[in-house]
Amino acid sequence: MSGILKITALATCLVLAGCTTLPLPSNTLSTDTILLDQVNAMAKNNPDWFTSGVQEQEKLTQKYKGKLRPELAIYLEMDIYIYEDGNLSAYLLEIVDRLLQGWEGVKPKIEVVVESGNFFSAFVDELHLLHVKTGLLRKIENEDQLASIMAHELSHVLLRHNSEKSLTDRTEEALDIGGVLMASGGEFLDSISGSNEYREAGQEGLLGFQSLGFVWADMLAPSWSRENEKEADLMGLDLLIRANYNYEEFPGVIEKIADAETQRSERLQQFNKLAHTVIDKNRKKIKTSLGVKLDKYMQDMGAAFGNLFVEEISSQAASMNKSHDDRVERIDAIKTYLQEAHGGGDLPPESGTEKFSEIVGGKVSKARLNQDLAALEVIDALKNKDIQLATSKLAEVKYNSRVSPLSCCMAKSSMDISTRKHDPAVKVLDGLAGKNTSPVEAYLKLAELYSKKSNYTQAEASLKLGIETIGRDYKFLPMLIQINKSSGNISAAEEYTLRCKHYDNDLMLTMEQLGSAGKSEKNSYYQKCAAVLGYDVLAKREKKAGASKPTGFGKALHRILPFPQ
């Protein structure tokens, strides 16, 4: 996989404005009475209860103008794999509608997206998109448990907790720019030396940062405060009771959630250590390889990126450890609330099994979910360069381009690329190109394979198709530059490089954090794209314009005659 692909396979920067609808002050709610009734009283005559979500949607529409809905495009731009299953999606929306029967305010427009993932995870974003990971579906035993998870997440929406969790506060920018620094710098130095030595060093620096959305499952899931989590637990219980679900399953689900939060914190800490190790190794390797020829910004910026990133990871992990009650405290609070607010609760119905068994727990559904897990394990093994393990796991993947989960298609193509079977990989990726659920990664891999065959026209067409679908060209630009540079179309490569300037305003804050004081312009996204091209287009044009200006007698004549500049 080339350095350019590694750059663009990282998660994209999301720059959404802050929300204006504020969460409820915690002191306005009492756990002595039913929380749902208290919030209903405030929301049922307030048409603007969810205005922040509407405003964020409008702003997002201005950023993503492709075939795909913007609220999905931002996640496909981060290479998160959508798990397509129409019956499952409809079933989850049925549960949402049933849970909202007890809500008396403006009904929020909740959409559900199922995503491939190894871990037990569900979260809701500020656009009211409820994310459910396949890792959760593999561990849930009945509909009441599933409804309990969804009730908890819906409560964050109804209580407007998610209005204060803008994606602007996450670390996508740092990751993406770090990738551009460490990999495109290698591309630039290779273009001078004519070797792959520096590109490989740049690639080494990205090991561990590309994880197909595994890391983003941790990053994107909001870290709620202790008070937020407590309110969502208690109001989730209210929603379950009003919807006539077996609320006695809820404490067991809290156990699962608590386990997942602990694992998430541990993964963040592990990722923190990995980031330090990889960055140090990369810096030493490049320094050894290049010696005094080391491009200074790569070392300085790589170190700054590493420090910023691992500090953010450490901060998130520490915040989680401090802000979350342990499972015993959470379950005790639920039991106390059930007694005090609900008078102990009525005898709950038996847990639902029939529809759940058919759609989630049935033989066909389980087999498909297990296929998804095996595919993710293949990709994870390839990321860690364990071909033997990847080959073993791929044997468990029954690949069929029409019915297999997208993760299986990506696993198959990734293995083919790793073993240099480029034609089969092209066939698989061609089948994905243009699908409304294909991540940016699929288009980039396909374009790279065409580039290896020197089919630059088809490579560029693949990228343009991705841009048309996603609706934003940010992650495609570095490879578009490289393709046109390789094909000899330098004017187009220069125009794509200049296009990177468009994103400087969005990214400048991060670039200033990454770079040294007073050097923010040199750290712009445009400069990273210029590194892929091999030179600064603006500087070249300024130099050319300066050289064309008249001097001496010509300069004096220019003052008299209207020569063009």
What's the average model confidence in pLDDT over 320-332?
69
End-to-end CA distance of the chain: 45
Lowest mean pLDDT among 5-19, 58-72, 209-223, 399-413: 5-19
From 361, 394, 421, give the residue that closes a domain: 361
304 and 380 inside one domain: no
Q: Average pLDDT in the 407-420 region?
A: 93
Domain that holds residue 63: 3-361
- Give the mean pLDDT of 89-106: 96
- 457, burial (CB in 10 Å: exposed 0-12, middle 13-18, buried 19+): exposed
**CA-closest candidate to residue 253, choices 152, 123, 132, 366:** 152
**Choice between 77 and 372, residue whose per-residue pLDDT is larger:** 372
Same-domain status, 178 and 296: yes
Would 35 be classed as within a structural domain?
Answer: yes
The C-alpha atoms of residue 349 and residue 331 are separated, in whole angstroms, by: 20
Whether 183 has a pLDDT exceeding 70, the answer reads: no
Q: What distances in angstroms separate CA 117 from CA 130, 135, 152, 207, 215, one per listed residue?
A: 15, 5, 20, 19, 10
Q: What is residue 62's predicted lDDT score, i.e. its pLDDT?
A: 83
* pLDDT for the residue numbered 224: 67
Mean pLDDT of the chain: 75
Would residue 547 count as lying in a domain?
A: no
Could you tell me which residue, 557 or 356, shows the higher pLDDT?
356
Q: How many CB atoms lie within 10 A of CB 442?
A: 27
Residue with tokens 């009650």: 325
Q: In terms of domains, do 329 and 441 share one?
A: no
**Together in a domain, 335 and 394:** no
Considering the domain boundaries, does residue 167 fall inside one?
Answer: yes
Residue that has been written with the tokens 């727990």 in this structure: 361
Would the pLDDT of 528 be above 80? no
Q: Does 558 map to a domain?
A: no
pLDDT tens for each residue of 297-312: 444 444 444 444 444 4
Whether 110 and 203 share a structural domain = yes
Cβ contact 394:414 at 8 Å: no
User: Scanning the structure block, which residue is given the tokens 């810096």?
Assistant: 283
Whether residues 229 and 355 fall in one domain: yes
Asked if residue 518 has pLDDT above 50, the reply is no
Q: Are strands 111-115 and 129-133 parallel, antiparallel or unpaired?
A: parallel
Express each pLDDT in 416-474 by its tens digit.
999 999 999 999 999 888 788 899 989 999 999 999 999 999 999 999 999 999 999 98
Q: Which residues pair with 129 in a beta bridge?
A: 111
SS3 per residue for 378-427: HHHHHHCCCHHHHHHHHCCCCCCCCCCCHHHHHHHHHHHHHCCCHHHHHH
3-state SS, residue 380: helix
User: How many independent structural domains does the chain possess?
Assistant: 2
554 falls within a domain: no
pLDDT digits (tens, 9 = 90+) for 336-384: 999 999 988 777 777 767 889 989 988 989 999 999 999 999 988 887 7
Q: Which residue has the higher pLDDT, 7 or 87?
A: 87
Neighbouring C-beta atoms of residue 391, cutoff 10 Å: 15
Q: Pick the more confident residue, 240 or 262.
A: 240
Residues 136 and 45 in one domain: yes
| pLDDT at site 465 | 96
Q: Is the pLDDT of residue 192 over 50?
A: no
In this structure, are residues 116 and 407 in contact, taking their beta carbons and an 8 Å threshold?
Answer: yes
Alpha-carbon distance 85 to 400, whole Å? 15
Asked which of 85-89, 281-285, 350-354, 488-492 is least confident by mean pLDDT, the reply is 281-285
Q: To which H or E segment does residue 122 belong?
A: strand 122-124
Q: Is the model's pLDDT at 273 over the cut of 90?
A: no
pLDDT at 462: 96
Q: Say what the pLDDT of residue 13 is.
A: 30
Percent of the chain with pLDDT over 70: 66
72 and 149 both lie in a single domain: yes
In this predicted structure, what is the pLDDT of residue 548? 63
Q: When comparing pLDDT for 54 and 19, which is higher?
A: 54
Residues 279 and 389 in one domain: no
- Give percent above pLDDT 90 in the chain: 38
Are residues 190 and 54 both part of a single domain?
Answer: yes
User: Cα(369)–Cα(373) distance, rounded to whole angstroms?
Assistant: 6
User: DSSP 3-state assignment of 239?
Assistant: helix
Q: How far apart are CA 169 and CA 33, in angstroms?
A: 34
Is position 551 within any domain? no
Q: Which of 307, 330, 361 is the last residue of a domain?
A: 361
How far is residue 118's CA from residue 134's CA, in Å, rounded to a whole number?
7
Which pLDDT tens digit goes with each residue over 25-67? 656 788 889 999 999 999 998 998 988 777 777 878 888 889 9
More confident residue, 233 or 280: 233
Q: Which CATH number goes with the domain that contains 521?
A: 1.25.40.10
Give the 3-state secondary structure of residue 112. Answer: strand
Residues 382 and 446 in one domain: yes
Residue 549 forms part of a structural domain? no
Q: 515: Cβ–Cβ under 8 A, 6 or more apart, which residues?
A: 300, 301, 304, 522, 523
Q: Tell whether pTM > 0.75.
A: yes
Residue 314 covered by a domain = yes
Domain boundary among 313, 328, 361: 361
Phi (first) and psi of residue 111, to 5 degrees: -115, 145
Task: Give the model's pLDDT for residue 543.
Answer: 83
Pair 353, 388 in one domain:
no
